[in-house]
């Protein structure tokens, strides 16, 4: 009997999983450094989530100009191609092992890659209705923003006619604008917290200019409708979530649960890469974006979901340097590791460790998530009473990082603690 089809084996220097901004940013920079990376992406069109975004707000950092997501994604792909990056589309990773073998499948077959270094850049997704435990029946017409964007961008379809958007992150506000301009009626944008999550400018541009109502301090307590959504029941609530007034119905045929991003960390969990519950399950990384497993790196919104695409791109470029350093001088394993811990007013910090390769370290950028939301925030990075760095932000909210750049002073055994002090929000 003839040999059956087998799993092809391939050796690569650097394998990047995910062709979004983070993965493409890293791959492009690595190619420029003389390492040939291979990028695996499971979509037919590479570019990650920006590729399905028709709204502007991308590219200011990378290309010095505001552009729509699709154009931003296309430019990243084109730039990567020019640098010599190979992208395998429609390729889904089934398995990652701690020894850096990766099993992937595409219509042309299964391949087992063996990589010197592996970079995970699988990005993030929104929490669906079911994990938010919103009561009520389960009719059609309940979406995440990501699904709506895809229907709109790739299929030219709208999710419905009368829409309620749940959440006030920038993606939620922009979705309201996009749908309204495409002909939907936006009944309301509903936000459980007492403050708006996205930027003020975005509220003016997306909502106020189109007279779309934003209802802060309103929780969706029930989805209504047996076949198709016929409305939502909302409850006015205070900052602690206690009901403050009678609940009422907003008639609509579409509900979009928006924002509340979590890392797409399936592979992290499957490969048993140690992860940080404070970031929602993203891997623990050091300042070079190396995880606890040697040679496996992770960056972008997989480690801090969800910051704007430009930040993910910047992450990727920094991770590329880490990968390059790893390949040119593999670590001995004897480096000293300093913990980075969230202190007062802080929920999570990325990276979670500093790895000291010698007596000096290059400046490090920390992505800090505050908790709760604060105004006029001062962030301080402190090691046993000594301040290593600080930053100020007029406002900081839990769903988006505030960045703090610091110069490590020298290896010490005490952990680095980041604390935030500011005025309460709203």
Partner 1 sequence: MVSVVTAACDYDYLVVGAGVIGCAIARELVRSPVRVGVVEQAWDVGEGASKANSSLLHTGFDAKPGTREARLVTEGWRLWQREAPELDVPILRTGAVMLALDEEQARELERWRRNAFENGVTDVELLTRDQVLALAPAANPSVVGGLLVPRESVTCTFTATVALAEQAAVNGAVFHFGHRVTGVDRSPDGFYRVLTDRGQITTRWLIDAAGLWADEIARWAGADGLVIAPRKGEFLVLDKSARAKVPLIHLPVPTPISKGILVAPTANGNVLLGPTAEDVSDKRDLAVTASGLQRAREGALRLAPALADEPVIATYAGLRPASPAGDYVIEIHPRHRLVLAAGIRSTGLSSAPAVAREVVRGLLEAGEPLASSESPLRPRPRRRWVPGLPRPCSRPELVAADPAYGRVLCLCELVSEGEIRDAVRAPIPATTLDAVKKRTWAMAGRCQGFYCTAAILQVMSRELRIPVTGLTKSGPGSPVVGPPVEPPGRHRHG
CA distance 182 to 55: 12
Is 424 among the residues that bind partner 1 (CB under 8 A)?
no
Is 11 among the residues that bind partner 1 (CB under 8 A)?
no
**Number of residues assigned to the chain:** 426
From the list 61, 65, 99, 137, which residue makes contact with partner 1 (rule: CB under 8 A)?
Answer: 137
| Helices 69-83, 21-32: inter-axial angle, 10-degree rounding | 20
Number of residues that bind partner 1 (CB under 8 A): 62
Residue 3 or 413: which CB sits closer to partner 1?
Answer: 3
Residue 101 or 116: which CB sits closer to partner 1?
Answer: 101
Of 138-146, 308-316, 324-332, 413-421, the window that binds partner 1 (rule: CB under 8 A) is 138-146
Which residues, 6+ apart, have CB-to-CB distance to 413 below 8 Å? 336, 338
The C-alpha angle with vertex 127 and arms to 126 and 131, in degrees rounded to 5, equals 170
Pairing of strands 142-144, 254-257: parallel
Is 264 among the residues that bind partner 1 (CB under 8 A)?
yes
Its sign, for the CA torsion 322, 324, 325, 331, is positive
Residues between 222 and 241 with contacts to partner 1, criterion CB under 8 A? 222, 226-228
From the list 34, 109, 213, 363, which residue makes contact with partner 1 (rule: CB under 8 A)?
Answer: 109
| Helices 21-32, 309-328: inter-axial angle, 10-degree rounding | 40
Is 221 among the residues that bind partner 1 (CB under 8 A)?
yes
CA distance 359 to 3: 56
Is 414 among the residues that bind partner 1 (CB under 8 A)?
no
Residue 372 preceded by cis peptide, ω within 30: yes
Put the strands of the sheet holding 185-191 in their side by side order: 142-144, 254-257, 162-166, 185-191, 214-216
Is 182 among the residues that bind partner 1 (CB under 8 A)?
yes
Of 77-85, 113-121, 142-150, 404-412, the window that binds partner 1 (rule: CB under 8 A) is 142-150
We find the least distance from the C-beta atom of residue 222 to partner 1, in angstroms, to be 7
Instruction: Give the contact letters, 152-181, x = binds to partner 1 (CB under 8 A), - = no.
Output: xxxxxxxxxx--------------------
DSSP 278: G
End-to-end CA distance of the chain: 74
Residue 237 or 381: which CB sits closer to partner 1?
Answer: 237
Of 146-154, 204-212, 316-324, 399-407, the window that binds partner 1 (rule: CB under 8 A) is 146-154
Is 110 among the residues that bind partner 1 (CB under 8 A)?
yes
The C-alpha angle with vertex 309 and arms to 166 and 93, in degrees rounded to 5, equals 90
From the list 2, 44, 385, 394, which residue makes contact with partner 1 (rule: CB under 8 A)?
Answer: 44
Residue 351 preceded by cis peptide, ω within 30: yes
Looking at the DSSP bridge assignments, the partners of residue 353 are 339
Residue 184 or 420: which CB sits closer to partner 1?
Answer: 184
CA distance 424 to 47: 38
The token pair that represents 296 in the structure block: 């496996």
We find the least distance from the C-beta atom of residue 183 to partner 1, in angstroms, to be 6
Looking at the DSSP bridge assignments, the partners of residue 142 are 255
Residue 52 or 401: which CB sits closer to partner 1?
Answer: 52
DSSP 28: H
CA distance 294 to 296: 6
Residues between 49 and 108 with contacts to partner 1, criterion CB under 8 A? 54, 70, 90, 92, 94, 103, 105-108
Residue 250 or 364: which CB sits closer to partner 1?
Answer: 250
Residue 153 or 401: which CB sits closer to partner 1?
Answer: 153
Of 20-28, 145-153, 303-311, 376-384, the window that binds partner 1 (rule: CB under 8 A) is 145-153
Is 246 among the residues that bind partner 1 (CB under 8 A)?
no
Is 130 among the residues that bind partner 1 (CB under 8 A)?
yes
We find the least distance from the C-beta atom of residue 54 to partner 1, in angstroms, to be 8
Pairing of strands 124-126, 142-144: unpaired
Could you list the residues that contact partner 1 (CB under 8 A)? 4-7, 42, 44-45, 54, 70, 90, 92, 94, 103, 105-110, 125-126, 128-131, 133, 135-141, 143-144, 146-147, 150-161, 182-184, 221-222, 226-228, 253-254, 264, 266, 269
């Amino acid at each position: 009997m003839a040999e059956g089809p087998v799993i092809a084996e391939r050796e690569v220097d650097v394998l990047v999983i995910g062709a979004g901004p983070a993965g493409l940013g890293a791959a492009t920079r690595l190619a420029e450094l003389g390492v040939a990376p291979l990028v695996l992406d499971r979509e037919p069109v590479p570019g990650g989530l920006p590729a399905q975004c028709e709204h502007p707000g991308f590219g200011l950092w990378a290309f010095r100009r505001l552009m729509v997501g699709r154009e931003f994604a296309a430019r990243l792909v084109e730039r990567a191609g020019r640098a010599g990056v190979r992208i395998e589309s429609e390729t889904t990773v089934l398995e990652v092992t701690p020894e850096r073998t990766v099993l992937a499948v595409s219509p042309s077959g299964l391949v087992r890659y063996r990589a010197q270094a592996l970079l995970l850049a699988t990005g993030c997704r929104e929490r669906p209705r079911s994990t938010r435990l919103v009561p009520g029946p389960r009719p059609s017409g309940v979406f995440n923003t990501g699904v709506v964007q895809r229907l709109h961008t790739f299929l030219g379809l709208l999710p419905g006619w009368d829409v309620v958007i749940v959440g006030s992150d920038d993606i939620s506000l922009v979705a309201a604008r996009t749908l309204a301009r495409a002909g939907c009626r936006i009944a309301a944008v509903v936000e459980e917290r007492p403050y708006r999550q996205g930027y003020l400018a975005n509220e003016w541009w997306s909502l106020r200019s189109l007279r779309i109502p934003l209802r802060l301090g309103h929780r969706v307590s029930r989805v209504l409708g047996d076949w198709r959504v016929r409305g939502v029941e909302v409850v006015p609530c205070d900052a602690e979530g206690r009901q403050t007034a009678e609940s009422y119905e907003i008639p609509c045929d579409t509900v979009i649960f928006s924002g509340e991003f979590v890392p797409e960390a399936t592979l992290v969990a499957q490969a048993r890469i140690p992860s940080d519950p404070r970031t929602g399950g993203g891997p623990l990384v050091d300042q070079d974006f190396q995880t606890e497993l040697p040679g496996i790196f992770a960056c972008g919104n997989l480690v801090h979901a969800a910051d704007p695409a430009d930040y993910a791109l910047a992450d990727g470029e920094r991770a590329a340097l880490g990968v390059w350093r790893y390949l040119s001088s593999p670590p001995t394993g004897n480096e000293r590791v300093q913990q980075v811990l969230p202190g007062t007013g802080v929920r999570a910090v990325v990276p979670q460790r500093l790895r000291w390769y010698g007596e000096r370290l290059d400046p490090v950028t920390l992505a800090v998530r505050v908790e709760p939301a604060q105004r006029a925030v001062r962030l301080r990075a402190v090691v046993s009473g000594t301040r290593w760095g600080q930053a100020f932000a007029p406002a900081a909210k839990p769903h988006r990082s505030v960045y703090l750049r610091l110069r490590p002073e020298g290896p010490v055994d005490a952990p680095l603690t980041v604390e935030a002090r500011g005025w309460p929000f709203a």
